[in-house]
Amino acid sequence: MMKSVLLVIIFSIQLALFAQNSPEIELQVRNQKVPCSTNSNELCFHAKKVTDPTWTFTIQEIENFEFTEGTSYTLLLELGFKEENGTNKTTYKLVEVINEE
């Protein structure tokens, strides 16, 4: 019983520290949105890590980001996580627009 309580306390502390130090990622966002999936009419941001040659991310929403069709962006984003429908979903929040073209 004491081990369980101790583990819960340690996990809570680690979770609080993680929330304060959310990881950040620098992504390039294409100048046009793309279908979120092959069977979807919903459009998503198409993005890649700055160091990657391949566009690998489809992102539904970037909090606090205003997209202009025809403009490409390099963004610094804060990553977060939330549970949605029983699965963990990555969330993205704008920290800084590094470049736009």
DSSP string, 22-83: --EEEEEE-SS-EESSTT---EEEEEEETT-SS--EEES--BT----TT--EEEEEEEEEEE
**DSSP classification of residue 89:** E
At 8-43, the pLDDT tens digits run 343 444 444 444 578 999 999 999 999 998 888 899
pLDDT at 15: 44
Please give the average per-residue pLDDT across 63-70, as a whole number: 97
For residue 47, the number of C-alpha atoms closer than 13 Å in the C-beta half-sphere is 23
pLDDT at 20: 53
Structural tokens at position 26? 């620098």
Closest C-alpha to 80, from 26, 29, 23 = 23
Please give the average per-residue pLDDT across 35-59, as a whole number: 93
pLDDT at 91: 96
**DSSP classification of residue 8:** H
In this prediction the pTM is 0.75
* 50, pLDDT greater than 80: yes
What are the residue ranges spanned by the domains of the chain? 23-100
Contact 29, 75 (CB under 8 A): yes
* 80, pLDDT greater than 60: yes
Question: 2: pLDDT confidence band, cut at 50, 70 and 90?
Answer: very low
* 6, pLDDT greater than 60: no
